[in-house]
Chains A and B, each alone.
Chain A
């Protein structure tokens, strides 16, 4: 596609349920990033993929959060046993080369998924 797409655009779930958020990066981009944007707290880096590998998962806030990327393309962020504090906008971004280029390439952001946990 022309840009980074994310689905769903909005997700309302009940506390304790699991959710999956999807990101489709720009075709050919090897690097993929997940962020969380909470009200009043700015953007929080969650995880970075280079290809299908995530060199550093330390940004994930708890073990309820996991992410995977398959085929060097689509990525899924899974939140298990959701809590109200997980409510936020989850942003995905992709770039052509990422860390291997020293971040000289631009990250392109998707529109985000707004997650509301009741």
Chain B
């Protein structure tokens, strides 16, 4: 069965520090890959997505993610975190057959001054 794993339930980083949020998926073929952010009291917003081609994907708010087929990973990165980045981050996978979407359980990010 397809699954998405976000190993880190909660991460705390200092403002200005770099960030990497991990995402691993279980699927036979390369699926479509997404990262979403959910700020407190707000809905989910798409940060970036990967379908094919260049494995390094640029998104909004200075985020990027790299698809590594050999590791079945799609980790999210940001070189310098801002206090406003504090939120819940979700990785999602859509197999390229079928009609389902699978989300990870999320990683909660705290940013300290």
Contact = CB atoms under 8 A, between A and B. Distances in A.
A43 B43 contact: no
Given A43-B90, A109-B44, A104 B51 contact: yes
Interface residues of A, number: 27
A27 to B, nearest CB: 18
Interface string B48-74: 010100000000000000000000000
A45 B103 contact: yes
Q: Which of under 10, 10 to 19, 20 to 34, or 35 or more describes the interface residues of B? A: 20 to 34
B109 to A, nearest CB: 15
B94 interface: yes
Interface string B86-113: 0000101010101111111110000000
Interface of B: 6, 32, 42-46, 49, 51, 90, 92, 94, 96, 98-106
